[in-house]
Amino acid sequence: MASALVPVAEPADYVPANPDTVLSEGTRERLERSVPANTKRAYGRQWSQFTDWCDETGRSPLPATPQTLAEYVSHLADLDRAPSTIEQATAAIRTAHRVAGHRGQPETDGALAVLKVHRRDRAEAGKRKRKAPPVTLTPLRAMIDATDPEALAGKRNRALLVLGFALMARRSELAALRVGDVRFTDDGLTVLIRSSKTDQDAIGAKVNIPVGVHPATDPIRVVRAWLDALAQRQVTTGPLLRRINRWGHLQEGGMSGAAVNEAVQRLAAAAGLDGAEDFTAHGLRAGGPTEAAKAGHPTSFIAEHGRWSKSSPQVLEYIRPVEKWRDNPMRGIGL
């Protein structure tokens, strides 16, 4: 699937009938990199599963008929796949068709109707969309307390937690941070987010983080302690959040998004949080806006700080639970 996103290169001695259809190697490489790696992996996995199913059932994967897509969605429903997983599978199949020149195929009306019934069946069975709990200030401080402030890994994990929360960062954004992206100012800290999910053109965004009030979670103290630890080891450039082995030794290269997620999960378990197994790095991104809403900050400022698209309803999912308590119509009526 990943390779299908870019036309296959022709043999070196191939002479095209139409030179206007030729792509250079450099152009192919840029087209390949234009698709986020995570998307290519996820879509590639979904496409592979779909083609395997088509082989087993004697159906054609490309071009697939609307009936084939509806049957496949029904198959995934039989396996009780989450609706979000089925949506991703459908998107991968349609992307493969578009890249192969079959635009608008296959039609999705039948598949969407099957998915709608699957959602209703899951709701009636008491199954709801699983959400990672937000890492609000209380669990954040518990996770910070579970780190060793004198150990190298402890300094890094504190920086990871506090930056994830204060930046309202995606784990991919944390993994992409470089040492040079951090600048201290009189007012606090400015962090450059070079690119993000809503900034695929890599225009970049500078996020300001003010000085904190608690030493253990003050972004300036925490990040400075980590940068000082790196500088002591002659690391002044490159990835900000570095790999550390089991013996506490700094390694070459930065943490991946998956490693960031695993670190948060380990810290949640170490802190003894209720439902620790459900905490993920996404909880840091959710915790920031939740606490900001509690403090009464405008939704537009929260959305801009967290680099949400102006049309994205996602930030409201974090803010509405706060508003439902703060602006509850039963509050103050004399019950």
| Residue 112 confidence (pLDDT) | 92
Domain match, 95 and 157 both: no
Residues 184, 280, single domain; the answer is yes
Inter-residue contact 76 to 86 (CB < 8 Å): yes
What's phi and psi for 206, nearest 5 deg? -100, 125
Q: What is the pLDDT of residue 8?
A: 43
Residue pointed to by tokens 């009526």: 333
The CATH number covering residue 225 comes to 1.10.443.10
Q: Based on the domain organization, do 162 and 98 belong to the same domain? A: no
Quick check: is 334 in a domain? no
Per-residue pLDDT, 15 = 54
**What are the DSSP calls for 53-120, one per residue?**
HHHHHT---TTPPHHHHHHHHHHHHHTT--HHHHHHHHHHHHHHHHHTT-TT-S--HHHHHHHHHHHH
Residue 238 lies in a domain: yes
Q: How much is the pTM?
A: 0.68
What are 190's strand-pairing partners?
183, 208
CATH no. for residue 83? 1.10.150.130
State the Cα–Cα distance between residues 232 and 281, nearest whole angstrom: 28
Asked, for residue 131, whether it belongs to a domain, the answer is: no
Could you give the count of Cα atoms lying within 13 Å of 231 in the half-sphere of its Cβ?
8
Decide which of 89, 124, 159 is a domain's last residue.
124
CB 299 within 8 A of CB 310: no
Dump the DSSP string for 217-255.
T-HHHHHHHHHHHHHHTT--SSBSSEEE-TTS-EEEEEP
pLDDT the model gives residue 200 = 57
SS3 280: coil
pLDDT value, residue 220: 94
- Predicted confidence at residue 128, as pLDDT, reads 65
CB contact at 8 A, 61 and 54: yes
Asked if residue 261 lies in contact with residue 277, where contact means CB atoms within 8 angstroms, the answer is no
Which pLDDT does position 50 carry in this prediction? Answer: 92
Q: Which domain holds residue 219?
A: 137-326
Does one domain contain both 58 and 115? yes
Across the chain, which has 335 residues, the per-10-residue mean pLDDT values are 46 57 75 70 87 91 90 91 88 85 83 91 76 87 93 94 93 91 91 72 78 91 94 92 90 89 92 88 90 87 83 78 80 77
CB 282 within 8 A of CB 265: no
Q: What is the pLDDT of residue 7?
A: 42
Among 309, 73, 65, 83, residue whose Cα is nearest residue 196 = 309
Separation of alpha carbons 250 and 244, rounded Å: 5
Identify whether 31 is part of a domain: yes
129 assigned to some structural domain: no
Residue 217 contacts residue 144 (beta carbons within 8 Å): yes
Same domain, 143 and 254: yes
Number of domains in the chain: 2
**What is residue 202's predicted lDDT score, i.e. its pLDDT?**
56
